[in-house]
Amino acid sequence: MPLLDDIGIPLDDAELNRRSFLKLLGSGALAVAALGTAVTSVEYLSPNVLFEDETRFRIRRPEEIAVGTLIALPKQRVYVMRSQEGFIAFSTVCTHLGCMTKYEPENNRIFCPCHGSQYTIEGVVTAGPAPRPLPRFELVVDKGFLVVNTRKAVSQDTILRYSA
């Protein structure tokens, strides 16, 4: 059986449509691959920086806070309390499972709405499943303002004594 050379045979319309479709499909696949490569290259070259909240921030002047006042700062996840002895700063994150606590001024307590843990306004556990008090943070006076550093945990008996 002799071999036929089909290059010289004219193509019919069905064969032309099929070849055109396959060319279009192949070109589309190459275009999608090139676009994906370009996007990935641009993302790789752009800086991938995670901007975190400041861990050290100013509250206000100590003389502006009355004795017995609790200031809640939900964005920074911090409570600042002024007692007779001085100032304390502690976390708003419950020590049970990491839920956000809420200050209830009408009951003079801090309460975890998720699992029922209750704390005094100094952060000491009074009820519920929380295993330990709310962690305290470093609190200093800098240039006349109270400054909290949430990166530095301090012991539970740490109080910033301040006299105007």
Confidence of residue 37 (pLDDT cuts 50, 70, 90): very high
Q: Which domain holds residue 68?
A: 56-154
Sheet holding 70-73, edge to edge: 56-58, 145-154, 136-142, 87-91, 78-82, 70-73
Give the integer Cα–Cα distance in Å for 68 and 133.
19
Instruction: Report if residue 31 sits inside a domain.
Output: no
Residue 4, domain member (yes or no): no
Using left for φ > 0, alpha for ψ between -120 and 50, and beta otherwise, residue 153 falls in beta
Q: Is residue 97 part of a domain?
A: yes
CATH of the domain at 113: 2.102.10.10
Domain count, the chain: 1
Amino acid letter, 121: I
Q: Does 7 have pLDDT greater than 80?
A: no
Q: Does some domain include residue 72?
A: yes
Residue 147 lies inside a defined structural domain of this protein? yes
40-90 residue pLDDT tens: 999 888 887 777 777 788 888 888 888 888 888 888 889 998 888 889 998
- Residue 71 in any domain: the answer is yes
CB proximity list for 13: less than 8 A, separation 6 or greater: none
Confidence band of 107 (pLDDT split at 50, 70, 90): confident
